[in-house]
Structure 1
Amino acid sequence: MEKYLELIQNSYSGYWNYLKTEMFSITHWDNYFYGLILISLAVWILEIAFPWREEQSIFRKDFWLDTFYMFFNFFLLNLIVLIALSNTVAEFFNDILGLVGLSLSSFQLIAINELPKALGLFIFFIVADFVQWNTHRLLHRVPFLWNFHKVHHSVKEMGFAAHLRYHWMEPVVYKSLLYIPLAIIGGFDALDVAIIHFFNITIGHLNHANLGWDYGKLKYIFNNPKMHIWHHAKELPKHTKYGVNYGITLSLWDYLFKTDYIPENGRDIELGFSDDDIFPKDFVNQELYPLKFKHKDEK
């Protein structure tokens, strides 16, 4: 137990030093803090220049709430939960494997650092995106998880910052389920993670932006605003009660597994979920919602 407490403490202090470096130094290109700001400003400018819903205000409904979520989830959430959790779970998992004479390396099938850079990044990206697509489906199908995911679906007007409006429990679920698959393809480094991270953030921002794009033929590969808005539709199609268009970065999985749904132009559809009118409107109560309320509309 003492080892784990020391690991958590070191994780906090290490991440705090990392935060200071990120915020007060721009000497390296993979600066997550300024990278997030630059991507957000770029997509926001695109929204302003090419608005799909022209009547929607530049500072749309809940713009500032979503902006707060964006920075809270990116920085404070990592500091409070994910860094210590990831490091502790990794150590705990290795200790459990050690009891039966195994180690994390026992699961590694390939090492992407031994492959050509482009191929290694491609494998890393594909594996991670497929696991996250399946995790997203679980968030809709499991009632306990859906109550956390409602925070994201409480968005009533789409905009780039809605991308990072989510309950802190979501990344815990995503990272937990992603841990072993990424261990199987070990060998990726910080540069690999940064490249994939910035690409995913950009696509995610665009998916939620007030833009009427579908990327032409590439819509069958990449998620896009015209597709993703149907994922947020309040009225679900009759053939499914759990949702549609689960793609994170890639739309490919939805087309392969027949969960795609774009019946018409969804520019003006109502967003949300059943009984979202009684869902909390402020940050604190949205965070407490899954634990505090009895839910009559569970899926």
Structure 2
Amino acid sequence: MDKYLQLFKDSYQGYFNYLLDEITRFHWENYFYGLILVSLLVWGLELLFPWRKNQDVFRKDFWLDTFYMFFNFFLLNLIVLIFLSNTAEALFNDLLSIFNLKVSAFQIVDLNALPYGLGLLVFFLISDFVQWNTHRLLHRVPFLWNFHKVHHSVKQMGFAAHLRYHWMEPIVYKSILYIPLAIIGGFTVSDVAIVHFFALTVGHLNHANLGWDYGIFKYIFNNPKMHIWHHAKVLPKHTKYGVNYGISLSLWDYLFKTNHVPHNGRDIELGFENDEAFPKDFVSQELYPLKFRKD
């Protein structure tokens, strides 16, 4: 018990010091200013090349989504996520130790043994594929969909809508991603930062007010013209749970036949069935899954 109490203290104190360092000191792996820079760049593209020209610069829920960005990126870690993540890792390692095992015993790929570019690509592909499958679960499992509704409550797309999600989502994503990443070794802090900022940029672009599909590369990379159909309020008749689950890559949707871009979706209605009754403010949206009762 003492071990976990110390872990609780170290998690909060360590992350607070980390966050303070991020805000007060610039470096190339700085997530705080990296988020601001990527957001300003993509917002600038929205203003220069708006797809929906009648959409306001400060679109519906712009400030709510901006708050979500910083809350989910930083404050959520400080409040709960870092401690839960560290605790889960410690429990998993303690469980393995009962059988005299370590996480390294399950490693089947060592990225250090691969050329740097290839190792980074493997790390990115595994991460993105696992997250694509997790995203499908969020739509298919009613309990998880109840949390994911927060993200789909967006009614006007813009870059900041990317990070409007319930705090339970990163717990689900990171829990499922932990084992696959545990069986590969050799990735560094720099590798994680590169993949992270690439995914952040693509995610911002996917939700931005931009009418881009990247031409032939649309079959590889997720894009605004594809992702807007993921947020369509009216689902196609051939699917029950959703379409276009891609995070950074559209590749998985085309491979597994979950792609759907029937026509230009610039002006389609966004949301989900009965979203008119969904809460409009941050606190109520966070509490919604806990209060929800199926009719």
Partner of residue 253, structure 1: 252
Partner of residue 21, structure 2: 21
Q: Using the alignment, how far apart are the partners of 2:82 and 2:292 within structure 1?
A: 29
- The alignment partner of 1:242 has SS state of coil
Identity %: 75
Give how far 1:107 is off: 0.8
Aligned pair 1:75/2:36, yes or no?
no
TM-score by length of 2: 0.99
Q: Using the alignment, how far apart are the partners of 1:247 and 1:218 within structure 2?
A: 14
Which deviates more from structure 2 when the two are superposed, residues 89-98 or residues 168-177? 89-98
Task: For 2:45, give the aligned amino acid.
Answer: L
Give how far 1:83 is off: 1.3
Give how far 1:8 is off: 1.8
Deviation per CA, 1:5-49: give whole Å up to 9, x if none: 2112101111111111100111x1111000000000000000000
Give how far 1:129 is off: 0.3
Partner of residue 2, structure 1: 2
Partner of residue 45, structure 1: 44
- The count of residues paired between Structure 1 and Structure 2 equals 295
Q: Using the alignment, how far apart are the partners of 2:173 and 2:215 within structure 1?
A: 30
Partner of residue 207, structure 2: 208
Deviation per CA, 1:120-147: give whole Å up to 9, x if none: 1101000000000000000000000000
- The alignment partner of 1:210 has SS state of coil
Deviation per CA, 1:243-272: give whole Å up to 9, x if none: 000000000000000000000000000000
Give how far 1:293 is off: 2.2
Task: For 2:14, give the aligned amino acid.
Answer: G
Partner of residue 173, structure 2: 174
Partner of residue 147, structure 1: 146
Give how far 1:113 is off: 2.5
Q: Using the alignment, how far apart are the partners of 1:208 and 1:151 within structure 2?
A: 15
Q: Using the alignment, how far apart are the partners of 1:129 and 1:104 within structure 2?
A: 21
Q: Using the alignment, how far apart are the partners of 1:100 and 1:170 within structure 2?
A: 31
Deviation per CA, 1:77-131: give whole Å up to 9, x if none: 1112221111111111011011122111111111213322111110100000000
Give how far 1:70 is off: 0.3
Change over 3 Å in CA distance of 1:283–1:21 after alignment to 2:
same
Partner of residue 54, structure 1: 53
1:84-99 superposed matches below 5 A: 84-99=83-98
Q: Using the alignment, how far apart are the partners of 1:282 and 1:37 within structure 2?
A: 23
Q: Using the alignment, how far apart are the partners of 1:40 and 1:46 within structure 2?
A: 10
- The alignment partner of 1:136 has SS state of helix
Aligned pair 1:223/2:222, yes or no?
yes
- The alignment partner of 1:285 has SS state of helix
Q: Using the alignment, how far apart are the partners of 1:44 and 1:94 within structure 2?
A: 42
Partner of residue 185, structure 2: 186
Which deviates more from structure 2 when the two are superposed, residues 256-265 or residues 84-93? 84-93
Task: For 2:18, give the aligned amino acid.
Answer: Y
Task: For 1:243, give the aligned amino acid.
Answer: G
- The alignment partner of 2:166 has SS state of coil
Q: Using the alignment, how far apart are the partners of 2:88 and 2:188 within structure 1?
A: 19
Gaps of 5+ in 1: none
Task: For 1:22, give the aligned amino acid.
Answer: E
Gaps of 5+ in 2: none
Partner of residue 116, structure 2: 117
- The alignment partner of 1:59 has SS state of coil
Give how far 1:189 is off: 1.2
